[in-house]
Amino acid sequence: MKNSLGLSIVFIGIVLVIIVTTFGDASTYVSFTEARELYSNGNMSKIHVVGKLNRDTEDNITGIKKSSDMLSFSFEMVDEKGLKEDVFFGEPMPPDFLMSEQIVVIGSYNNNRFIADEILLKCPSKYTEENIKI
């Protein structure tokens, strides 16, 4: 029995370590206000912010600034609490970006500006309205 008992203990031990590190290293979904608080407290860890592109009253997307070289762009994003923030992304605009119904930015504040390292998009499901280009 000795071997299997030892093995079980090691196995369960590693499982626990994996659980602890996973939840320890997990990032969080926060609002821009909370992200700014983290930043001003000197916490530089990367966080996720969920939100939408900023739209005006006529449902047009506003606040997109493309750099002339297509290498980077910035946009206005409204988080789930309704707070608007400028987000800078150091890569070309991802495909379907303008069609997204929800976006998640992963990154952090840097020099008072939110810098996204990664952008994830949720595109409309096929049963919502879409426009056909004719």
Task: Round to whole Å and give the CA distance between 16 and 104.
Answer: 30
Neighbours of 92 (CB within 10 A): 14
Residues 6+ apart with CB under 8 A from 61: 53, 54, 55, 98
99 in contact with another protein (CB under 8 A): yes
Q: Per-residue x/- marks for another protein, 9-28, CB under 8 A?
A: --x--xx--xx-xxx-xxxx
In the block, residue with structure tokens 């987000």: 87
> Of 35-43, 54-62, 126-134, which segment contacts another protein by CB under 8 A?
126-134
- Record the tokens describing residue 103, joined without a space: 């976006």
Q: 98-123 burial by CB neighbour count: b if 16+ within 10 A, else e?
A: eebeebbbebbbeeeebbbeebeeee
99: helix, coil or strand?
A: helix
Residues 43-82 that bind another protein (CB under 8 A): 45-48, 50, 67-72
Position 130 contacts another protein (CB under 8 A)? yes
Each residue 105-124 as x (binds another protein by CB under 8 A) or -, in order, gives -x----------x--x-xxx
Q: How far is the CB of 108 from another protein (least distance, A)?
A: 9
Residue ranges in contact with another protein by CB under 8 A: 1-4, 7, 11, 14-15, 18-19, 21-23, 25-30, 45-48, 50, 67-72, 90-93, 95-99, 102, 104, 106, 117, 120, 122-127, 129-134
